[in-house]
Structure 1
C-alpha cells in the first residue's frame, strides 16, 4: 500500500464500462433475481458500451434457497461471462463441509442446515432416535453429497478471490493493510475484519467488499461495504460505478 492511495471521491471505473458489485446473498434468490432485473432494466434503458456484474461471495447458508441461488449464478455466468462471481467464506465453508463434515465448523454453525434443506436434505448435529450425533451427521452428510449436483461443486471451486476494474478492487471481506493488493492471501480476502475496517489510510484502489453486515451500504474514503444482511433484512445492495459516478442500488423483498 502507498501513502498516496486513492480516495473514493476521486476513484473512477474503466472508460465505457459500468460496474455493479452485489453484496452477500445468503440464499435469498428472490432478492438476487430482483437485483438482476433492476440491472437488466438499467442496461436496457441506459445502455453502456460494456459492463460487469460482480458478486462478492456468500451465496449459501442462512437464507431459504441456496440451491436456487447457485443455479441462478451458474446460468447467469453461462449466459454472459461478464457476470462474475467471487468466493466468500461461506462458499468455501460449504466445500469444506462436503469434503469433511465438521459439527463445529462454519457450515453447521452458521446456516448450513438451511443450505442442506434447499437441496432436500435434513441435517442435524444432534443425537436422535436412530444413533449417535456422529452417525446422524454422517448420514446427513452422505445424503447432501448425493443431493448437491456436480455442477454446483465445480462452480464453487471455480470462484476467484478477487478482481480489479479501474480504481476498484473487489473481494468478499477486505484486505490486509500494508500488503500489496496483488499479494493478498485468500484467507484474508474472505475472512478479515478489524485490521481492515480500522485502517485509516488509503489503499492503491477502493476496496469493495461485503462480509460484515451494516444497516445500509457503508461508503468510506478507502472502501465500500455492500453487505446489508440481505437474508434477514430483505434488502440486497450493490455499488454501481460508471466513470466517476458512483451510487448505491438496492433490491428489496416484496411485501406479502
Structure 2
C-alpha cells in the first residue's frame, strides 16, 4: 500500500502566509516577550501577505511568571486574531486544580506552586487545611479573564500541510477525529510512530535540548523554563526554519 502521508521536506504552508509555531512557555514571560518582539520586527521589516503566530500550549507551571504570560497572551489575542493559542495539558491541569485542589494531580506535582506564587499565593500541598486555605486564596487571586481564556483554548489548528497541537496525535485516526486527551497528553504511540501522517504534526509537550525535526513531526519544546531557550518553527511557503530566543541573547 502506498503511504499517502506527507514528508516534512515536501510540506508547505499556505501561499503568502508566514507561520510561527511557538513551543511551551511555562511561565517564562521574558522569553515570550522576546519571541514576540523578534517576530514583530521581522514582520515589519519583511512583511508577508498574511501571518499567524500559533502557541502550542503549556503557558503555566514551573517558570516564574505564569500570570504575566496569561496577561500577555490575553492582550495579544485580543489585539489580533492572527495570534492563536492552543491548550496544553498544564493549562487544563491548572483549571482542574482551581475546580478541585488535589494534592496529587498534575498541578501539584509538576510546578503548580510556581504558578500560584505568580498570583501571590503560597501553597502547601502536604497539609490538607493549608491546601484548602491556599486554594481558596488562589481562586480569589486568579482573574475570571484568565479562567475564561484557558477554558476557551482550542486543541488544534491546521494550515497548509501542517497540523498544530500540544502533544501529538494518535496515528491512524483522521485529524478531525482526534481525541482532545491525545492532543494534550499522547507521547510514545505518537513519538515512536515511523510512518507519515496526513499532515506534518507540529507539537511541544516532550522537551528536548534541541528542537526535533523528523519526517512526520516537529517538536519545538526546548524546556524554556529551565534551558532559557524558547523555540519556534517558522513556515513560509515551502521554506521552514527554526527560530530560538534565549535569555543569553538570540
Q: TM-score range by the shorter chain?
A: over 0.9
- Considering only aligned residues, what root-mean-square deviation do their CA atoms show, in Å? 0.8
Q: Which runs of 5+ in 2 are unaligned?
A: none
**Equivalent in 184, 187, 210 of residue 190 of structure 1:** 184
Aligned to 2:78: 78
Counterpart mapping for 1:153-164 below 5 A: 153-164=147-158
Deviation at 1:3, TM superposition (A): 2.2
- Equivalent residue of 2:158, what SS? strand
Q: TM-score, normalised by structure 1?
A: 0.96
**Equivalent in 138, 144, 148 of residue 138 of structure 2:** 144
Aligned to 1:106: 106
Distance in 1 between residues matched to 2:201 and 2:96, nearest whole Å:
27
**Equivalent in 129, 133, 147 of residue 135 of structure 1:** 129
**Equivalent in 228, 231, 239 of residue 225 of structure 2:** 231
- Equivalent residue of 2:240, what SS? strand
Q: Deviations over 1:108-142 (max 9, x none)?
A: 1001000000000011112xxxxxx1111100000
Counterpart mapping for 1:44-59 below 5 A: 44-59=44-59
Report the number of matched residues. Answer: 248
Distance in 2 between residues matched to 1:125 and 1:219, nearest whole Å:
38
Deviation at 1:31, TM superposition (A): 0.2
Aligned to 1:17: 17
Distance in 2 between residues matched to 1:50 and 1:91, nearest whole Å:
28
- Equivalent residue of 1:70, what SS? helix
Distance in 2 between residues matched to 1:46 and 1:193, nearest whole Å:
37
Distance in 2 between residues matched to 1:71 and 1:182, nearest whole Å:
30
Aligned to 2:216: 222
- Equivalent residue of 2:130, what SS? helix
Does residue 167 in structure 1 map to residue 165 in structure 2?
Answer: no
Deviation at 1:36, TM superposition (A): 0.4
Q: Deviations over 1:83-103 (max 9, x none)?
A: 000000000000000000100
Q: Runs in 1 of length 4+ with deviation above 6 angstroms?
A: none
- Equivalent residue of 1:143, what SS? helix
Aligned to 1:130: none
Distance in 2 between residues matched to 1:250 and 1:80, nearest whole Å:
23
Q: Which runs of 5+ in 1 are unaligned?
A: 127-132
Distance in 2 between residues matched to 1:52 and 1:174, nearest whole Å:
20
Does residue 252 in structure 1 map to residue 243 in structure 2?
Answer: no
Aligned to 2:65: 65
